[in-house]
Amino acid sequence: MVNEFHPPARILMGPGPSNVDPRVTMAMAKPLLGHLDPDFLQIMNKIQALLQYVFGTKNALTLPVSGTGSAGMEAAFVNVVEPGDRVLVCVHGYFGERMVEIATRCGANLRTLSATWGEPLDREEIEKELRAFQPRVLALVHAETSTGVLQPLEELSQVLKKFPDTLLLADTVTSLGGHPVKVDDWGIDACYSGTQKCLGCPPGLAPVTFSPKALERIKARKQKVLSFYLDAEILGKYWGNERAYHHTASSSLNYALLEALRIIEEEGLERRYERHRRNHLALVRGVEAMGLQMLVKEPYRLWSLNTIRIPDGIDDLKVRKTLLEENNLEIGGGLGKLKGKIWRVGLMGYGSNQTHVLYFLTALEQALREQGFEVPRGAGAAAAREFYAKNK
């Protein structure tokens, strides 16, 4: 390349990555430190403490794996699942199916419990399967990025008290930092996320946390963890008191994560959750005022990832191309069974704000009009503004 590369400054309202606070971007430009430098070790300590705050846990083994959310998923499974272990995976979307794939590669004795994409799993059905199968691990997605469904986890904590030998493994990639996640209170034993969504950070790190119960299971393994790189005990020696060399951690990405977590702490978790909820509700009011429908029923909708049904006769790709080329705005299409049937609109972290909501509704109205879809002029943005005015 002869000239310096300048990527366009997109408005990222897809399923991730999301836009980040300029403070986070600036943090990545700070001087590099070695991964065992005393000052970098202090940064690691601060990151761990703030991740414990966001996860709602006192787990000592709480750290960011070097890798994306999928690395977090693999880290959770390869550590707590041994070949032959009974594993129950709840599937109600694309990432539940990915859990199945990884559990299979771990050699699990696998059973799945499925729900319609766009709907949560029934607690009573989960309990029924737990009683019949007696799994060593129950795995499910808290915030299903492919469907926009929030799976209630708090209610499962009482159910799992009846099954003390079952570990709960949860995917919080699209909820951590935007929805309440209470690892200790909800009895989650292995939990993972990604930095590029509600945490408001670039992709490249996967926060994970393991309970003391999970660590006991890991230490009692008959076989070594299949992955050296993702072995929780070895990672713990680098992130713990020993500070034993494991890999060359990215100082720049960890700077970014530290600054993003500092921003979360400054805002406060409850205020941050309320911001995500308020902007989600405003967007829904606008979408419905335009004559469109949401995929997920109201009690189970994610605040951070909104799924909108594509009206009959509307070209999905053409709408998204129009938004990108004419409005510099990115949204996501459907995955798997929902490809061509929904749009996925993210309101995550720094990107969950009133300006983005109103801009999206206005741009979507224009794109729909270009395809002949009748939308009351300005109805979406007007409905959202009315909601904001009444809900300060």
Q: Which residues contact 268 (CB under 8 A, 6 or more apart)?
A: none
Q: What are the tens digits of pLDDT across the range 349-361? A: 999 999 999 999 9
- Residue-by-residue pLDDT tens, the chain, 392 positions: 578 888 999 999 999 999 999 999 999 999 999 999 999 999 999 999 999 999 999 999 999 999 999 999 999 999 999 999 999 999 999 999 999 999 999 999 999 999 999 999 999 999 999 999 999 999 999 999 999 999 999 989 889 999 999 999 999 999 999 999 999 999 999 999 999 999 999 999 999 999 999 999 999 999 999 999 999 999 999 998 888 888 989 999 999 999 999 999 999 999 999 999 999 999 999 999 999 999 999 999 999 999 999 999 999 999 999 999 999 999 999 999 999 999 999 999 999 999 999 999 999 999 999 999 999 999 999 999 999 999 98
What is d(CA 100, CA 73) in angstroms, rounded to the nearest whole number?
Answer: 11
> What DSSP element (H or E) covers 324?
helix 316-327
> What residues form DSSP beta bridges with 179?
176
* The pLDDT of residue 59: 98
* The pLDDT of residue 64: 97
Tell me phi and psi for residue 191, to 5 degrees.
-135, 140
* The pLDDT of residue 157: 86
* The pLDDT of residue 4: 85
The pTM of this model reads: 0.96
- DSSP-derived secondary structure letter, 15: S
* The pLDDT of residue 1: 57
* The pLDDT of residue 90: 98
What is d(CA 233, CA 239) in angstroms, rounded to the nearest whole number?
Answer: 10
DSSP secondary structure letters along 74-136 = HHHHHHH--TT-EEEEEESSHHHHHHHHHHHHTT-EEEEEE--TTSPPPHHHHHHHHHHH--S
* The pLDDT of residue 22: 98
What is d(CA 317, CA 333) in angstroms, rounded to the nearest whole number?
Answer: 8
* The pLDDT of residue 154: 92
- DSSP-derived secondary structure letter, 306: E
